[in-house]
Amino acid sequence: AQSVTQLGSHVSVSEGALVLLRCNYSSSVPPYLFWYVQYPNQGLQLLLKYTTGATLVKGINGFEAEFKKSETSFHLTKPSAHMSDAAEYFCAVSAGYSSASKIIFGSGTRLSIRP
């Protein structure tokens, strides 16, 4: 069965500092991996995804993530945090090989940015 673990329910960084949000997955099949962002009182928005090919994936708002099969990780990074990055971030994995595949979400990491 597929699962996702996000390390740290809350991460706080200074404006301009590196953002690193950690995600580890478990999957019995090659995974499809996603990062979503949720701003207050809004739905989730896709930041980036890995399906096949290049393991370093670039997304919107300057975020990127690297798929590391050997470490079963898909950590999200941004070189320089901006106040507008404050939000909740969810890592997710596509659950299995089915045409109606559900996506399994991690429990989320709240990112705070200090001025």
Partner 1 sequence: DVKVTQSSRYLVKRTGEKVFLECVQDMDHENMFWYRQDPGLGLRLIYFSYDVKMKEKGDIPEGYSVSREKKERFSLILESASTNQTSMYLCASSPRTGMGNTYGYTFGSGTRLTVV
Rule CB under 8 A: which residues touch partner 1?
9, 29, 32, 34, 36, 41-46, 49, 51, 90, 92, 94-103, 105-108
Instruction: Tell me how far, at minimum, the Cβ of 41 lies from partner 1, in Å.
Output: 7
Instruction: Tell me how far, at minimum, the Cβ of 103 lies from partner 1, in Å.
Output: 6
Instruction: Tell me how far, at minimum, the Cβ of 55 lies from partner 1, in Å.
Output: 16
Nearer to partner 1, 81 or 108 (CB): 108
Nearer to partner 1, 81 or 93 (CB): 93
Instruction: Tell me how far, at minimum, the Cβ of 10 lies from partner 1, in Å.
Output: 11
Q: How many Å apart are CA 43 and CA 65, to the nearest integer?
A: 21
Give me the DSSP letters along the chain.
Answer: --EEEEE-SEEEEETTSPEEEEEEEE-SS---EEEEEE-TTS-EEEEEEE-SS-SEEE-GGG-EEEEEGGGTEEEEEESS--GGG-EEEEEEEE-SS-TT--EEE---EEEEEE-
Nearer to partner 1, 44 or 87 (CB): 44
